[in-house]
Amino acid sequence: MRRKEFSIEEEKEMIAFLDQCSFGFLGTVSPDGEPRVTPLNFVYMEGCFYFHGSLAGEKMKQIKQHSAVSFTVAEEYSLIPSFFSDPELACPATSFFKSVMASGLAEPVEDLELKGRVLQRFMEKLQPQGGYVPIDAQDSRYTGRLKAVAVVRIVPKRVSAKFKFGQNLTPERFDHISGQLHKRNEGRDQETVEMMQKYCPFHQQ
């Protein structure tokens, strides 16, 4: 069940999350009708998801047969053990996370200029330190390579974002769980507390 209090409606929040993530999961249907999920790098540009691969790769075969796909990006921040809320029952155990789920149609990108812009965005995202000649379709060093690589655009029909950081908690439970995270101080616990304070209604200005 999708809980309304965890839904994110502001597009800028979703875009900021997608820009900081490099990995997502592509859902396709194989030629024999079997569901498939493929982890891959992606970029999000101008309302669409993009990924790249081999022109003759398995993903391209699947998309050619069935262009309807799903795409999911998720990032876990902290596990919340049951004993943070109840000394005996396992039921309160949960996790705090961000996720974006999209469904739509996948289509190959043929335009070399767009291919170049997409792959340049990949480089900026995955290799921000630079150290390469920028990708330009007009650069003869890249033209042949752009023709030889597949770039796919996912045009979403539906996109939903879910950021779960205790928005449904009472102020008392919120303070207790955030205090336990601060005390535990493992992994991304401090960042999780900051996200709780950001997204919980009674902490917003």
As averages over each run of 10 residues, the pLDDT of the chain (205 residues) reads 62 94 94 90 96 89 92 98 94 96 96 98 97 97 96 96 93 95 97 94 64
* Closest to 36 measured CA to CA, from 1, 7, 71, 80: 71
Instruction: For residue 160, give every residue at least 6 positions away whose Cβ sits within 8 Å of its Cβ, in sequence order, or none.
Output: 2, 7, 100, 101, 102
Structure-block tokens of residue 82? 């049951």
Q: Which two tokens stand for residue 17?
A: 């999350």
Specify whether the CB–CB gap between 78 and 95 falls below 8 A: yes
- The label of the residue with tokens 């979703």 reads 14
Q: What is the pLDDT of residue 153?
A: 98
Q: What is the pTM of this model?
A: 0.90
pLDDT of residue 201: 76
Are the C-beta atoms of 53 and 78 separated by less than 8 Å? no
For residue 1, what pLDDT is reported? 38
Give the pLDDT score at 2. Answer: 47
